[in-house]
Amino acid sequence: MGEGTIIVKELDSGFKYRVTEEPGGEHLMRCYACGTCTASCPVRAIEESFNPRKIIRMTILGMKDEVLNSDFVWLCSTCYACQERCPQDVVITELMNALKNIAVKEGIVHPGIASQAQEILKFGRVYEIDDFANKKREKLGLPSLKSDSKEVETIFKSTGIDKYIAKLEEEK
Ligand code: SF4
Ligand code: SF4
């Protein structure tokens, strides 16, 4: 059996239905594999392993573990180029978000995203506001800012994101 051969009994036939129930995944089954999305995708232009049509096919086939554990969905830059062009209105960008949401519910978070969340928890934004930034703001007549993460902490706790950050710390 060749590498990458699909084993039918290992497929999850219910996966596509779960995706169609997730906001953004509703039009998944409309895809007729024309490839317009892949041809439009700027991420695909620089990273050959990224292929929205393939991800959609894999999802419909029931390759749940491969889809949720791959870097594919996390590489999407949410540029909407594919979504604007899809002749079947698959709303691909939202579909990628639906797959990310399912991955997170299954406890799978890309380390890059978890690191960003870690920074946001620390500073209240993705980078620290330091004196240099505030001096620049002052010159522009803007009020100074401080790194404050109290509200973020509340949001992270209520959504459970704090657990993923803790998991990342453990894996370090
Ligand atoms: S453009 Fe739409 S119909 Fe064509 S492969 Fe992509 S998702 Fe499927
Ligand atoms: S939204 Fe994502 S999948 Fe679609 S073209 Fe942009 S990067 Fe590619």
pLDDT the model gives residue 93 = 96
Which residues, in sequence order, are CB contacts of 116 under 8 Å at separation 6+? 126
**CATH architecture classification, 11-105:** Orthogonal Bundle (1.10)
CA dihedral (52, 58, 59, 63) positive or negative: negative
Residue 59: the pLDDT is 97
What would the two tokens of residue 105 be? Answer: 């519910």
In this structure, the residues whose C-beta lies within 6 A of any atom of ligand 2 are: 40-43, 52, 76-82, 92-93, 96
pLDDT for the residue numbered 113: 85
Quick one: pLDDT at residue 7? 83
* Domain map (residue ranges) of the chain: 11-105, 111-171
Write down the pLDDT at residue 168.
66
- Give pLDDT, residue 105: 87
Closest by CA position to 26, among listed 127, 80, 95, 75: 95
**Ligand 2 test: best mutation among 43, 57, 89, most atoms within 8 Å of CB?**
43
Predicted TM-score (pTM) of the model is 0.82
Ligand 1, closest atom to CA 40?
1
Positions in the chain whose pLDDT score sits under 50:
none
